[in-house]
Amino acid sequence: MNFSDTAELADFRKKAGNWLNHVLKDFPEVSEESERESQARNWQDCLNQGGWLGISWSQGYGGRGLTELHTAVFNEECILRHAPTPIGLIGILLAGPTILSHGTEEQKREYLPKILSGEDIWCQGFSEPDTGSDLAGLQTRAVATLDGWRINGQKVWTSSGHIANKCLLLARTKSGKSRHHGISYFLADTAHFDVRPLKMINGDAEFNEMFIDNVFVPKNSLLGELNEGWVVAMTTLMVERSSVAFNLQVWARQILDRLLGLVIEKNLQDDQYVLDRLGAFESEVDAIRIGAIRGASSLAAGQTPGPEASALKLQWANSVQEISRFCLEIGGPIFQRSAINDQNFWMHKYLRARGHSIEGGTNEIQKSILAERVLNLPKSR
Amino acid sequence: MQAILTNEQKMMIDSVAGMSASGVEAAMTILKENEWPEEPDNILFDEWSSLGLKDFDSKSETGLVDAILVVYTLAKNITPNRFTSHLAAIQVISAAGLLPSVNFNGEMRYCLAVDEEDSEPLGPYDACLKGDKIFGKKKSIMHGREADVNVVILDNDKVVLTRPGIISSVTNFDILNPVVDITYEGSQFIEISDGAHAGLLRAIVILAAELCGIARGAVDLAANYANIRHQFGRQIGGFQGVAHQLADAFVAAETAWSLTLFAAWALDTNLAEAKKAIHEAKAKASEAAVFAAERALQVYGGLGMTLEAPPHIFLRRALAGSSQFGGVHWHRCKIAREILKSRSDITNLAK
Ligand SMILES: Cc1cc2nc3c(=O)[nH]c(=O)nc-3n(C[C@H](O)[C@H](O)[C@H](O)COP(=O)(O)OP(=O)(O)OC[C@H]3O[C@@H](n4cnc5c(N)ncnc54)[C@H](O)[C@@H]3O)c2cc1C
């Protein structure tokens, strides 16, 4: 059991920290949605030029050939410094690892470097109006043509859809009794999708609906086997829950830092109730970090990510939601002076956090996963 | 970073799990027949009585992490044992640097005398030395009746080892850890040292590990029951109202266990963060144990309200442990003050 960096990791952490201290001067925190976007683009460029993207990907595909722990360390250093998020986050976190484990050599060479350079911005086209938690019920169809497929259907809640040019797209290629068999996984171009932004309750237009009307995708856009896309989709979801854990802990840490500032600003340092909540939050957020280190360590030791990732995701969603609600609580009614389309900082955070127990699989779904796979209870879905 | 168990640690866990497989039955026997089992105490004292004392005992290669793995595994099966409280006691004397004088052949059993009427968790304490004699009244000493040596915490951060004082019985709520009150009226000390506070921090980690085991054990117990009990023609574990309660308890137990592992490691490594980590571990483990035991009771239905079913044994241990050495609120406030202080340190530094 060892939670501290190896000498090599410590060195890596130091280099990363130095580099970040140097470049982050040019990236002050911005709040306007439009500014955030251009900053996210510039930040991705900066990371890529510095060689800090795809840290665990092999060098042949533009990565650095290091481990998941290196990635984790780098992300941690970024978030401690309130660094922005790169524009191609979904590509980096989800598309890349999925293509790495299921792609052909040609697909890896084609897509991976462009994920890092930001030339391709990816989105995840899984959810549909009638298919959310029960993903296997998806109805978007892909009909084979001579040289590819024609796709018809509708996707919804697609984060980054409005800025993406590529989509991890699930579509049904065969109908039949088995719901899981017959789904295929495509690396699709979004140029001909009709993408319409949806405004979230905090005023941001972070996700979209996408109408796909007879859009052609070529043969080489199929990822994995025809009709066996479910397995590939499970990889994406697993990666989403586990590798994201390190980002999660630091996001939770950021909001907790803000709360600490608020407590001091409002002179509540001796309020027993406030101290109690702070102590509880600090423990939760530390536990997420420790859990993430335990998870990354077992990945690095060759174990496959297990259902425990669901526990981390639940913890994270709960903590961030509770912390951001508590900020509002001690802020009082003045924090509610927040326009629908221009929320103040605290309200913006709070409202966004409500989505954490929905996106990436709802809390209820995560609990069922734990009940079934860790506690061996019968299926309840 | 390699936060995983070694193969030796996995083997150790397996072997303790083997010894404690019938923990629930043994606990029920105590309840019904008031008969305390000899095993696994005898083996544990024979083989591991210096567990976790790497720095002090040249024979021991084990650290606090190893100690808590054993404690956790025993607690998971609510295995009745006096070994856990012995381990807590020797952690205190180890931190106080008293070990070389202590007998570790398994014959000597130690208990820890800390709390006094109205004392704050972690003191200060009124018990004291007058000349070379100990005076004071200690409360709720776990397995105090069976101990050969008492580890007594005095005023001014002092720890003494002494023969048992005058024992008085008290009513026991937690059948797994019978407690007594002990009065010292001029007992002679065997050894004395500073370092009580540092020792108690180690003891708290042992207790947190026990509570984590109780939490996880309660979840497993209830999950097993949920798999065999049928209602509406199906296993009750298939109802989300049941399954999700247990998933919540599992998450709480895992959270607490992560914090406790980290705290033990941080102490073993002499890390500055250790203190905060200990408060976090104890706060979360207390919360998780009570929460999980209550969930288990609920999942057992009417049976859970009877003395025949095991959930109440978990619940008793959880409640008793959660109030010892500072309750949830007390530890949370410590954590909060710690982070507020380091925040203002940083701000002052910047000025
Ligand atoms: C901010 C945000 C970003 C998102 N980004 C993306 C994206 O980029 N790409 C993408 O594909 N999707 C995205 N999603 C969609 C997300 O994955 C779905 O919203 C989620 O899976 C839930 O599906 P649903 O909205 O259809 O709700 P439903 O599945 O209809 O669920 C409604 C309620 O019923 C509960 N429920 C459903 N089934 C069960 C069951 N078996 N047992 C118990 N309770 C159940 C749910 O927990 C929920 O509370 C995003 C969502 C949000 C909020």
Q: What are phi and psi of A147, to 5 degrees?
A: -120, 15
Q: Do residues B325 and B203 lie in contact, with contact meaning Cβ atoms separated by under 8 Å?
A: yes
CB-based contact, A5 to chain B, within 8 Å: yes
Closest approach atom of ligand 1 to CA A360: 17
Output the CA A298–ligand 1 centroid distance in Å: 29
Residue B312 β-bridge partners: none
| Superfamily of segment(s) A122-227 | Butyryl-CoA Dehydrogenase, subunit A, domain 2 (2.40.110.10)
Instruction: Report d(CA A163, CA B318) in Å as an integer.
Output: 52
CB-based contact, A67 to chain B, within 8 Å: no
Give the amino acid at B105: N
How many helices (H) and strands (E) in chain A?
12, 8
Residue B334, judged by CB atoms within 10 A of its CB (0-12, 13-18, 19+), counts as buried
Instruction: Report d(CA B79, CA B81) in Å as an integer.
Output: 6
Task: Find the closest chain B residue to A365 by CA distance.
Answer: B244
Q: What topology does CATH give the domain A232-373?
A: Butyryl-CoA Dehydrogenase, subunit A; domain 3 (1.20.140)
* Per-residue confidence band for B60, with pLDDT thresholds at 50, 70 and 90: low
Instruction: Report d(CA A130, CA A6) in Å as an integer.
Output: 48
Q: Alpha carbon of B117 to those of A215, B114, B124, B127, B198: distances in Å?
A: 78, 10, 12, 11, 22
Instruction: Report d(CA B334, CA B339) in Å as an integer.
Output: 9
Residues in chain A within 8 Å Cβ distance of B271: 4
What stretches in chain A show pLDDT beneath 50? none
Q: What is the pLDDT of residue B285?
A: 98
Q: What is the pLDDT of residue A244?
A: 66
Q: What is the pLDDT of residue A309?
A: 86
CB-based contact, B254 to chain A, within 8 Å: yes
Sequence ranges of the domains in chain A: 7-87, 122-227, 232-373
Cα A235-A237-A242 angle, rounded to 5 deg: 90
Residue A209 β-bridge partners: A156, A196
Count of C-beta atoms within a 10 Å radius of residue B318? 29
Q: How much is the pTM?
A: 0.95
Task: Find the closest chain A residue to B228 by CA distance.
Answer: A377
Instruction: Report d(CA A38, CA A34) in Å as an integer.
Output: 7
Q: What letter would DSSP give residue A271? A: -
Give the amino acid at A187: L
Q: What is the pLDDT of residue B275?
A: 96
Best of A98, A134, A140, A157 for a ligand 1 pocket test (most atoms within 8 Å of beta carbon): A157
Kindly report the protein residue whose alpha carbon is nearest to atom 31 of ligand 1. A133
Instruction: Report d(CA B92, CA B199) in Å as an integer.
Output: 4
* Paired tokens of B214: 């109780």
**Is A240 designated active site?**
yes
List the beta strands (DSSP E) in chain A: 122-125, 141-144, 148-159, 166-172, 183-189, 194-198, 207-218, 222-223
CB-based contact, B336 to chain A, within 8 Å: yes
Kindly report the protein residue whose alpha carbon is nearest to atom 44 of ligand 1. A364
Tens digit of pLDDT for each residue in B139-174? Answer: 999 999 999 999 999 999 999 999 999 999 999 999
User: Cβ(A364) to ligand 1 under 6 A?
Assistant: yes
User: Cβ(A158) to ligand 1 under 6 A?
Assistant: yes
CB contact under 8 A, B227 and A291: no
Output the CA A358–ligand 1 centroid distance in Å: 5
Task: State the angle between helix axes of B274-299 and B196-228 in degrees (0 to 180), rounded to the nearest 10.
Answer: 30
Q: What is the pLDDT of residue A299?
A: 79
Domains of chain B: 198-350 (1.20.140.10)
Q: What is the pLDDT of residue B103?
A: 66
Q: What is the pLDDT of residue B351?
A: 60
Q: Which residue has the higher pLDDT, B53 or A70?
A: A70
Read off the pLDDT of each residue in B121-137 and give the average, rounded to a whole number. Answer: 95
A&B contacts, CB < 8 Å: 174
* Per-residue confidence band for B23, with pLDDT thresholds at 50, 70 and 90: very high
Length of chain B: 351
Output the CA A95–ligand 1 centroid distance in Å: 20
Q: How far is A351 from chain B, CA to nearest CA, in Å?
A: 24
**The one catalytic residue among A77, A240, A284, A308:** A240
Q: What is the mean pLDDT of chain B?
A: 93
Read off the pLDDT of each residue in B34-39 and give the average, rounded to a whole number. Answer: 92
Q: What is the pLDDT of residue A33?
A: 74
Task: Find the closest chain A residue to B260 by CA distance.
Answer: A287
User: Cβ(A157) to ligand 1 under 6 A?
Assistant: yes
Tens digit of pLDDT for each residue in B71-94? Answer: 999 999 999 999 999 999 999 988
* Per-residue confidence band for B350, with pLDDT thresholds at 50, 70 and 90: low
Tens digit of pLDDT for each residue in A266-317? Answer: 999 999 999 999 999 999 999 999 998 888 888 778 777 778 889 999 999 9
Q: What is the DSSP string of B296-349?
A: HHHHTGGGGGSTTSTHHHHHHHHHHHHHTTS-HHHHHHHHHHHHHHHHHHHHHH
Q: What is the mean pLDDT of chain A?
A: 93
CB contact under 8 A, B343 and A380: no
Cα B145-B150-B153 angle, rounded to 5 deg: 125
- Find the helix or strand (DSSP H, E) in which B180 lies: strand B179-194
